[in-house]
Amino acid sequence: MPKKQRTQQERISEGKAAENLPKVFTDSMDQIEEDLTNSWKAESDPSKREQFWAQIQSLKLIKDELGRLMNDGKIARKQRDKEQ
């Protein structure tokens, strides 16, 4: 699905919001990923391993998107600052 075109200000705002996520949230995501990975490694049932793997990949997609938002916001701020 194509991404929605966002204004420079929207990109800056989204980047700031992603940067300002509470540490407890990001720490929780890291802990969940570690727990899922440990469960995946310990599981012998292939079906359950696949479920753990899919959950790990979904969590990574969320973390990657937050990182992308932060980086995109930084780039938009630099572009805005150059234009001013």
pLDDT tens per residue across span 41-61: 999 999 999 999 999 999 999
Task: Indicate the domain borders of the chain.
Answer: 24-83
Q: What global pTM score does this model have? A: 0.76
The stretch 61-78 carries a mean pLDDT of 90
The pLDDT of residue 52 is: 98
User: In the numeric block, which tokens belong to residue 57?
Assistant: 């990949």
Between 55 and 25, name the one with better pLDDT. Answer: 55
Phi and psi of 3, rounded to 5°? -75, 145
CA distance 75 to 71: 6
